[in-house]
Amino acid sequence: MAAQRVPMLQWLISKGFMSADQANEATKMSQQTNSPIDKVIVQLGFAGEREVLQGKAQEMGLGFADLDRMSIDSSALNVVPERIVKNHSAIPVRKDGQTLYVAMKNSSNIAAIDDLRLASGCRVVPVLAVPGAIEDAIKKYYAASSSTPVDNTPAAAAAAANAPASRNFAQIMAEAGVKQGSDFEDIGNREDEAAADAAPIIKLASAIIQQAITDRASDIHVEPGSRAIRVRYRIDGVLMEAMTVPKNLMAPLISRYKIMADMNIAERRIPQDGRIEVRHGVKEIDLRVSSIPTPFGEKIVMRILDKSSVLLGLDSIGFTEENQLKIEELVSQPNGMFLCTGPTGSGKTTTQYSVLNILNTVGVNIITAEDPIEYQLNGIAQVQMNRKAGLTFATALRAYLRQDPDIIMVGEMRDLETAEIAIESSLTGHMVLSTLHTNDAPSATLRMIDMGVEPYLIAATIVGVLAQRLGRRIDSANKEPYDVTQMDLRRFGFNVTDPEALVTLYRGIPAENNRMTGYKGRTGFHELMTMNSELAELVVRRAPLNDLKEAAKANGMKELREDGLVKVLSGITTPEEVMRVVFTAGY
C-alpha cells in the first residue's frame, strides 16, 4: 500500500514552514496571476525553495534529494555518461540493485527518463531536488571528466528530428520491453499509479506521442473499448488508426498520461484537462490533454501544438498573395476589429498568431486574452482566462484598457458583454483581433447582431472578416496529371467558356511516404470580406445574408470554393478535398 500523500500546502503548514493565512494569500495570488502555487510561495518569501520542493515531492509520491547535505553514490554516477547528465540536467544520486534514483528538475521529462534508462540499463526512479543544487552537483562531480561533448551540429539536429518511419504496435511494445501476456497479466490487481510508473508503460506512452509527432499528427486519440484500446492519430485533418493496445494495459497507460499532464489519477468520473511538454529532436512540443469518462474507461485526447508552426508567414499557411496583402493592410490600421471565423480545427488560432507575429515589434504593446494559451510568443503579454477566479474575457478586457495597449487579441467572442467591450476597445483607438464560429465571412455580422450588438457599432468597427477551412495538400513528391472538362469545375465558380474543353488537374499517388492517401500536409481555403460603405449600410439596415454576400463579392471577396478552385488549378489540392471541407447542404 502506497504511503498516504498530503497536499503540499497542508504539509508546509503542518511542518511550520508557513501559516494558514499565508497559504490562503498564496492561493489567491496564484489564481489571480495564473502562476503555479509553488512558485508564488517562494516569490512571496513564505517558504524556501527547498521546503516547497519537499512538500511538492511528497504530494506527488516522489522522493526528495537534498544535494547540499548528502554525498552522491559513486556507483550511481558511473552508470550514466556525462553528456546525458548535462543534456537533461538530471544527476543519478543512488543505485539500489537495478533501480537508479535520479535527481531531476522535471519528474515528467519522459525523454530524460528514457535516455537514462537506456544508458544505465536500470529502472529509473525520478526524485525532486532544488534546480540550482542539481547544476552545482553536476559541476562538482563531473568537473574533471573528459566525456565526449554533446553534438549540437545542424547535421546532428536534423538526424534527431527525423525519427524513424511508422512502427506497428508490436515493434513499439518490443522496444518498450513489454512482454505481452506476462508483464501486465495481473495489472488489475495493482495500484494504477505504481503500474503507470513501470518502465515499459513509460516507454510505451512516450513512443505513442513521439510516433504521432513523427507522423505529423495534430491530435492523438486513446480510446478504451470493450476488448482493446484503439489509438488513432488525426493526420492532415483525418483520423487514422495507428495501433490497437491490449485491454490489460488500459489502466496503466491512461494513468501514465494523466500523471504526465498533472491530472488527478484518482478521479475518473468527471472530465479533466492538463498539459504535457515533450521534446522531439530539437523541437519543444506542447500537448493539450483532455480526458472524459466512458463506459469502458477514460478516453484521452491530446492536441499536439508545435510552436514553430505559428512563426510561419501568411504565405506559408495557404494565403494567396492578394489575400495576404489585404490582411496585412487591414491589421496595420490604428483601430478597428479583424475577425477570423470557421469551425473548430479550421486553423483560426494559427492565423491569429501568425498575424500577431507580423505585428509584434518593439514599438507596439500587444495583450491577449486566451482560453487556453495555445502558443507562447515572446514580447506579447498573454493572459490565461480563469473563470473560477473570476477572470473572464470581459473582465480581462476591462483591465486591458488601463494597460496602454495598441493591439488586443480576444481568443473568442462568446457573449454580448465580451463583444461590447471589444467594440468599445476598437472605438477608442485599439486594433482588436478575435474569432467567431460562423460558416462564412458575411455571417459574422449577423452572428454579432444575434448576440445583441447594435448594427451601427458593428458597421463602425469591423474592418475585415476572414472565414477559413483547412484541406489536405497533394503530396508534391508523388502526384500525376489528369484531365477534366470545364463543366466539371462549374460548381467551384469556374468560368466555363467551352463545356467540353479539357482542364489539366493533379492528384496524389498513394505511397508509403503519404500513408497511401496521396496527400501530405494541409493548406488553407480563405474567404476575406473587407468592409466598405455599401456593406456598412447593409449591416445597419439588417439586410439578409444573400444581400451581404453579393455586396461583399462586388467588393472583391472570393468565396471559399473559389479560393479552393485557385488551389485546385495550381495543383496544390484536389476538387474532392475542396468538396469535403467547403461544401455544405444548400451551398
Residue 525's pLDDT is 94
Q: Residue-wise over 109-139: b if at least 16 C-beta within 10 A, else e? A: bbebbbbbbebbebbbbbbbbbeebbeebbe
- The grid cell for 320 is 494567396
At 553, phi and psi to the nearest 5?
Answer: -65, -35
> Could you give the CA distance from residue 405 to residue 426 in angstroms, rounded to a whole number?
11
Determine the pLDDT at residue 446.
Answer: 95
- Residue 243 confidence (pLDDT): 87
Q: What is the DSSP string of 461-507?
A: HEEEEEEEEEEEEE-TTSEEEEEEEGGGGGGGT---S-TT-EEEEEE
pLDDT for res 250 = 86
- pLDDT given for residue 353 in this prediction: 87
* Confidence at residue 345, expressed as pLDDT on a 0 to 100 scale: 81
pLDDT of residue 301: 97
In this structure, is the dihedral angle defined by the CA atoms of residues 501, 505, 510 and 515, taken in order, positive or negative?
Answer: negative
Cell (9 digits) for 224:
478504451
Evaluate if pTM is beyond 0.75: no
Q: Which residues of the chain have pLDDT under 50?
A: 1-2, 144-167, 179-191, 585-586
pLDDT digits (tens, 9 = 90+) for 469-506: 999 999 999 999 999 999 989 888 888 889 899 999 99
CA distance 554 to 567: 22
Q: Would the CA dihedral through 20, 21, 22, 25 be positive or negative? A: positive
